[in-house]
Amino acid sequence: MEWVNAVLQGTLLGGLYALFAAGLSLIFGVMRLVNIAHGDLIVLAAYLALSITAGFGLHPLLALLLVVPAMGLLGYALQRGLINFTMGGDILPPLLVTFGLSVIIQNGLLMGYTADPQKLQAGALETASLTLLGLTAGVLPLLTFALAVAVIGALQWMFYRTAMGRAFRATSDRQDVALLMGLNRAHVFGLAMALSLAVTAIAGVLLGIRTGFDPAGGGARLIFGFEAVIIGGLGNLWGTLAGGVILGIAQAIGGQIHPGLQILAGHLVFLAVLAVRPRGLFPKMEG
Amino acid sequence: MAEPLLAIDRLDVFHGDFQALYGVEAEIAAGEMVAVIGANGAGKTTLLSALAGLLPRPAAAIRWQGSPIGALRADRVARLGIALVPEGRLLFPSLTIEENLIIGGRMGRRGPWGLEAVYRLFPILRERRAFAPAQLSGGQQQMAAIGRALMANPALILIDEISLGLAPVVVRQLYEVLPAIVGEGMAAIVVEQDTSRALSVSRRFYCLQEGRVALAGASGSVTREAIGRAYFGV
């Protein structure tokens, strides 16, 4: 039974990893940008929520109403004001600039909030749980997983059913021809980054309630997000959810075998998938 | 004389260090169909790409209704009402045929063309509207690429190598619909290697040779010999 429980807890944890990954997957899909600062932006969103909850006395989930648009705006400004200038034929400049951004965010947070670990206080939600058929699951992990499914469903719908999604796919397909459709590439990229960081805001707040955070915690979130994207297959959002779940289950089972194995087991499964299926388990079909 | 729709004045265009166009002069009036002919590598595709804003070009060398547009980005040029049907179709592979058409009309310019009108012009596209571009034949893809440009209701449509790689019967079909397109008051510049076909549909022509206009005039009155000399430079 405890193994079944481990799989359940791992699956729910996978929801959080999918939220880490969805924004990465989105911007890679639209503009082939690998955002090294993604994990630090997740942590930044958590700190933003911390300040809002402390300042206004809001519940962290209510703070999302402010954190999500704020991160979205930041994403648009960041893309148009900085990252767009590095986008071109070469993949290296944006990589270096987002790496620099990562260092700046970490040190900025260190100056503003000190190195002390912080946590978002969500009251009864943190400990509430449901028991069914002898299995117990926390309400927060269940909520996280449900939000992950909702976010990925919404992104999928946006991508395949809306004018903005068409613009994203067209720009991803052929940037030059997209210009001929009157699409302003800088604006399209800005929107993609805005959406990516809006998802990051949700991930950051849930992370902050669940485990707490400190200024140096971005790197691990970036790795988990990357691994979920790669396991699931580039360019496939539902695959990203599956990738997150596989990573979560691997960690939970590893932790069940030996507590020290938890993180390592996730990396090993990632490497195994990379060795056997380099394009991920569910790569996007080329049309 | 009234201001032409588009005027090209001493247009030099470079691909890196290589100069592809030398002082090209040309113009087109509203509603007019003009052919650009010339051998492979004469600079025809370069000319259309420069007009559409995809290549760097001198700011003052291209005037649209009297205003210089040489410094505009391609998306700004498109918004003025200049649509390019690129060589090789270049449909968006991850969009369905219908989505390719819809995105062509996203700028919302007014005019006679919409999904219904394009489907009436090319009924096969209605049947294949949910297909991916790769599932269509080359001719059907060319129809979709023309349809995508028409959806923008442009004042000027630039069509690059309309017949390249297509079966003769398909080429004939496409040329049959061209007058209907220009009949809607749209001007067209058609780039074509098939000289006689290009001359038969156009009112005027420009013949490019190694990046320069070697001959220009009325399509109806030019002799084969004159074209031959301008085409091959002999």
> Does residue B104 sit within a domain?
yes
Looking at the DSSP bridge assignments, the partners of residue A136 are: A131
> Does residue B109 sit within a domain?
yes
CB atoms within 10 A of CB B2: 6
Percent of chain A with pLDDT over 90: 83
| Beta carbons within 8 Å of B69's beta carbon, 6+ residues apart | B53, B62, B63, B76, B77, B80
| Beta carbons within 8 Å of A195's beta carbon, 6+ residues apart | A23, A26, A72, A75, A155, A158
The partner residue sitting opposite A287, judged by closest CB among B102, B107, B132, is B132
Query: Which three-class secondary structure string do you get for chain A?
Result: CHHHHHHHHHHHHHHHHHHHHHHHHHHHHHHCCCCCCHHHHHHHHHHHHHHHHHHHCCCHHHHHHHHHHHHHHHHHHHHHHCHHHHCCCCCHHHHHHHHHHHHHHHHHHHHHHCCCCECCCCHHHHCCEEEECCEEEEHHHHHHHHHHHHHHHHHHHHHHHCHHHHHHHHHHHCHHHHHHCCCCHHHHHHHHHHHHHHHHHHHHHHHHHHCCECCCCHHHHHHHHHHHHHHHCCCCHHHHHHHHHHHHHHHHHHHHHCHHHHHHHHHHHHHHHHHHCCCCCCCCCCC
Which one of A181, A185, A286 makes the best mutation probe of the B interface by having the most chain B beta carbons within 10 Å?
A181
The partner residue sitting opposite A174, judged by closest CB among B90, B99, B152, is B90
> Does residue B185 sit within a domain?
yes
**Number of domains present in the structure of chain B:** 1
Contacts of A185 in chain B (CB under 8 A): 75
pLDDT at B234: 66
* Stated length of chain A: 287
pLDDT tens for chain B, 234 residues long, are: 568 999 999 999 999 899 999 999 999 999 999 999 998 889 999 999 999 999 999 999 999 999 999 999 999 999 999 999 999 999 999 999 999 999 999 998 999 999 999 999 999 999 999 999 999 999 999 999 999 999 999 999 999 988 888 888 889 888 988 888 877 789 999 998 888 888 988 999 999 999 999 999 999 888 888 888 888 876
B86 → chain A, closest CA residue:
A177
Alpha-carbon gap: B154 to the closest alpha carbon of chain A (Å): 11
Whole-model pTM above 0.90? yes
CB atoms within 10 A of CB B73: 14
**Closest alpha carbon to B147 in B167, B174, B187, B183:** B174
| Beta carbons within 8 Å of A90's beta carbon, 6+ residues apart | none
> Rounded to 5 degrees, what are φ and ψ at B34?
-120, 140
Contacts of A184 in chain B (CB under 8 A): 73, 75
B107 vs A: CB within 8 A: yes
B158 → chain A, closest CA residue:
A180
Residue B174 belongs to a domain with what CATH number?
A: 3.40.50.300
pLDDT at B164: 84
Are A180 and B54 a contacting pair at CB < 8 A?
A: yes
Are B93 and A286 a contacting pair at CB < 8 A?
A: yes
> Does residue B48 sit within a domain?
yes
pLDDT at B165: 82
Are B106 and A173 a contacting pair at CB < 8 A?
A: no
pLDDT at B178: 87
| Beta carbons within 8 Å of A103's beta carbon, 6+ residues apart | none
B81 → chain A, closest CA residue:
A182
How far is residue A269 from each of residues A281, B91, B201, measured CA to CA in Å?
12, 39, 64
B108 → chain A, closest CA residue:
A182
| Stretch 130-169 of chain A: residues touching chain B, C-beta under 8 Å | 163, 166-167, 169
Are B94 and A176 a contacting pair at CB < 8 A?
A: no
Instruction: Give SS3 for B150.
Output: helix
> Does residue B1 sit within a domain?
no
Contacts of B53 in chain A (CB under 8 A): 179
B90 → chain A, closest CA residue:
A177
Contacts of B84 in chain A (CB under 8 A): 180
Does residue A287 register a pLDDT over 50? no
Dihedral angle, C-alpha A236, A242, A245, A249, nearest 10 °: -130
pLDDT at A286: 41
What is chain A's mean pLDDT, rounded?
Answer: 93
Going from the N-terminus, what domains does chain A have, and what CATH number goes with each?
2-125+152-276 (1.10.3470)
Residue-wise pLDDT tens digits, A101-149: 999 999 999 999 999 999 999 888 888 888 888 888 899 999 999 999 9
A30 → chain B, closest CA residue:
B94
The answer to whether A234 touches A284, Cβ cutoff 8 Å, is yes
Contacts of A166 in chain B (CB under 8 A): 95, 99, 102-103, 106
A287 vs B: CB within 8 A: yes
The partner residue sitting opposite A287, judged by closest CB among B78, B90, B134, is B134
Does residue A12 register a pLDDT over 90? yes
Residue-wise pLDDT tens digits, A200-239: 999 999 999 999 899 999 999 999 999 999 999 887 899 9
B94 vs A: CB within 8 A: yes
Alpha-carbon gap: A162 to the closest alpha carbon of chain B (Å): 10
Alpha-carbon gap: A165 to the closest alpha carbon of chain B (Å): 10
Residue-wise pLDDT tens digits, A244-277: 999 999 999 999 999 999 999 999 999 999 999 9
| Stretch 120-179 of chain B: residues touching chain A, C-beta under 8 Å | 132-134, 148, 152
B53 → chain A, closest CA residue:
A180
Which amino acid, B163? S
Task: Report strand pairing: B6-15 vs B33-38.
Answer: unpaired
CB atoms within 10 A of CB A223: 17
From the number of C-beta atoms within 10 Å of its C-beta (0-12, 13-18, 19+), residue A121 rates as middle
The answer to whether A198 touches A22, Cβ cutoff 8 Å, is no
* Helix axis angle, A237-257 to A218-232, nearest 10°: 120
pLDDT at A234: 82
Task: Pick the more confident residue, A105 or A282.
Answer: A105
Size of interface A-B (CB pairs under 8 A): 68
pLDDT at B91: 97
Are B93 and A182 a contacting pair at CB < 8 A?
A: no
> Does residue B217 sit within a domain?
yes
The partner residue sitting opposite B107, judged by closest CB among A172, A173, A182, is A182
How far is residue A167 from each of residues A82, A156, B99, B132, B233, measured CA to CA in Å?
21, 14, 10, 16, 45
Distance CA A266, CA A248 (A): 7
pLDDT at A184: 95
Domain around B180: 6-232
Residue A76 banded pLDDT, cuts 50, 70, 90: very high
A163 → chain B, closest CA residue:
B103
- Classify residue B233 as left (phi > 0), alpha (psi -120 to 50) or beta: left
Contacts of B132 in chain A (CB under 8 A): 287
Distance CA A202, CA B60 (A): 50
Task: Pick the more confident residue, A192 or B108.
Answer: A192
pLDDT at B1: 52
Query: Mean pLDDT throughout A25-45?
Result: 94
CB atoms within 10 A of CB A76: 20
What is the ipTM score, two decimals? 0.92
The partner residue sitting opposite B54, judged by closest CB among A176, A182, A286, is A176
Query: Mean pLDDT throughout A153-178?
Result: 95
